[in-house]
Structure 1
Amino acid sequence: MDASTGADGTRPGRVAADRPIEWRLRPAEPADVEAIAELRAIVMRPDLERLGRFDEHRVRQRLRDSFSPRHTSVIVVDGALAGSVTVRPAEGGRWLEHFYLAPDLQGRGLGSAVLRTLLERIDADRVPVRLNVLQGSAARRLYERHGFTVEDQDPIDVSMVRRPGAGALPT
């Protein structure tokens, strides 16, 4: 842990020099589940509707059913929950899931900054990280910029993997 790292192992960051966003990660708490479930419904709705898969109840329940505060971080901007991300152990590596940002913060470099921080930690362990992204989602471009490649896909999901140290971590 260096001087810029907080007691919880996270560090604050700034993104997009022309539009700085002060952010930090904090450990999730069980009480965060409903706010994250609601954010998931908002963020995923356009892609799920496009794929004909949006269900008002199921989109929230899937988060509730798999929520793991132990492996989840809350992205905090201006003192408020602005997103979430889960990185959990998986056979032979890590699994990245439930990475959501409030729509008004998307496209401003925050997702890249958070992802870069997480990937630096995972790379230190020299293990691959996997994730799924919906077909046609703009998030796929974010993951590709950070070294993820397609491992498998079907009409709904694209499974991606990033090997340790794959590709430069964009700034």
Structure 2
Amino acid sequence: MADWELRPASAADVDAVAELRAVVLRADLERLGRYDEQRVRQRLRDGFAPAYTWVVEVGGAFAGCVALRPGADAHWLEHFYLAPRLQGSGIGTAVLRELLDRCDSAGTLVRLNVLRGSPARRLYERNGFTVDTEDPVDVFMVRPALTITAAAPTVSM
């Protein structure tokens, strides 16, 4: 696995993220009959929130992004895209684990939606997400915070 790091996103990242989204989602959206070259980018631009978004960098270069937006009862994992050349390298799993560890520490439930039939669903299932609901396009998943319990101290008598 290549060295990677997360940095806070800025408004200047929106075009790179929109382009990556279009590339990453294209096959799934085409399979679902929902791909529109302009809409796939505009939906990202319309909802881009740098305050809740991180850019994934590999070797100091843009390689992906992920957002973790607070909601009413949970944080929403959104816009998790990794350059196709890096998919399957372990970076996506490592990024996801880091964010989930933060949520576990805070006791926060995490929700997401993934396109029906997307291979990304396996990543989420391996990391504790289960299906909450489904519709013809999206699968909505949830993951409760994992609690870490310390072993009870032993007492010698």
- Give 1 or 2: higher helix fraction: 2
* d(CA) in 2 for partners of 1:83, 1:69: 14
RCO comparison, higher one (Cα < 8 Å, 6+): 2
Gaps of 5+ in 1: 1-19, 167-171
**1:169 aligned residue:** none
**1:105 aligned residue:** 86
**2:118 aligned residue:** 137
* d(CA) in 1 for partners of 2:2, 2:144: 29
Deviation at 1:55, TM superposition (A): 0.1
Deviation at 1:126, TM superposition (A): 0.5
Question: What is the TM-score with the length of structure 2 in the denominator?
Answer: 0.92
Q: CA RMSD in A?
A: 0.8
**1:153 aligned residue:** 134
Gaps of 5+ in 2: 148-157
Tell me the percent identity.
63
Partner secondary structure for residue 20 of structure 2: helix
What amino acid maps onto 1:106 in structure 2?
Answer: Q
Q: Give the greater-gyration-radius structure (CA).
A: 2
| Partner of residue 76 from structure 1, selected from 52, 57, 60 | 57
**2:66 aligned residue:** 85
What amino acid maps onto 2:12 in structure 1?
Answer: A
Partner secondary structure for residue 57 of structure 1: helix
Deviation at 1:127, TM superposition (A): 1.5
Aligned residues: 147
Partner secondary structure for residue 115 of structure 1: helix
Deviation at 1:104, TM superposition (A): 0.2
Alignment of 1:4-43 (within 5 A): 20-43=1-24
CA displacement 1:111-136 (0-9 Å, x = unmatched): 10000000000111101100000000
* d(CA) in 2 for partners of 1:124, 1:106: 27
Question: What is the TM-score with the length of structure 1 in the denominator?
Answer: 0.85
* d(CA) in 2 for partners of 1:135, 1:92: 24
| Partner of residue 59 from structure 1, selected from 21, 36, 40 | 40
What amino acid maps onto 1:94 in structure 2?
Answer: H
